[in-house]
Amino acid sequence: MLDTQLILAANQDFYRAFEQQDLEAMATIWSKGTDCLCIHPGRPALRGWEQIQMAWEQIFQNTERFRISTSIITAQVSGDLGYVVLVEQITQMIQGREVTIQSMGTNIFENMSGSWYLVHHHGSPIMPPASRPGQQPG
């Protein structure tokens, strides 16, 4: 398989673990390096697997069910690094109420000993045009 296909497969594994609320699968997907980072929409970065795992645990505890669909924008690989940029459509069932949000995701993978691991996840909300402030860069 091409490296691009391998990181797309790793990317799919990540969203499957997310949708199935499978913390054990998450643990096999993420790098355990102290430098791995996770940014959930609207939040600052979590650093290192311990913090990242705790946040997923909390997310999974607070949600009855997820339905996730993704739309890949690009996937690129060079050497031992690769990244996927995509639109995430996430439906959450919380206390019997369904909420759907769209977000942008950037996922960076690193090849370690022949396998690709997630080293960085950056998710950010896509706000509806009406609620966006004027062009706000960053």
> Residues in the site for its own copies, rule: CB under 8 A?
18, 35, 37, 39-45, 47, 55-56, 58-59, 62, 73-74, 76-83, 85, 87-88, 90, 92, 94, 101, 103-106, 108, 110, 119-120, 122-127, 132-138
25 versus 87: smaller Cβ distance to its own copies: 87
Nearest to 95 by CA among 125, 55, 126, 65: 65
30 versus 123: smaller Cβ distance to its own copies: 123
What residues have CB less than 8 Å from 40, skipping those under 6 apart?
A: 46, 55, 59, 123
27 versus 47: smaller Cβ distance to its own copies: 47
Minimum CB separation from its own copies for residue 74, in Å? 5
Query: How far apart, in whole angstroms, are the C-alpha atoms of residue 101 and residue 70?
Result: 12
Whole-angstrom Cα Rg for the chain: 15
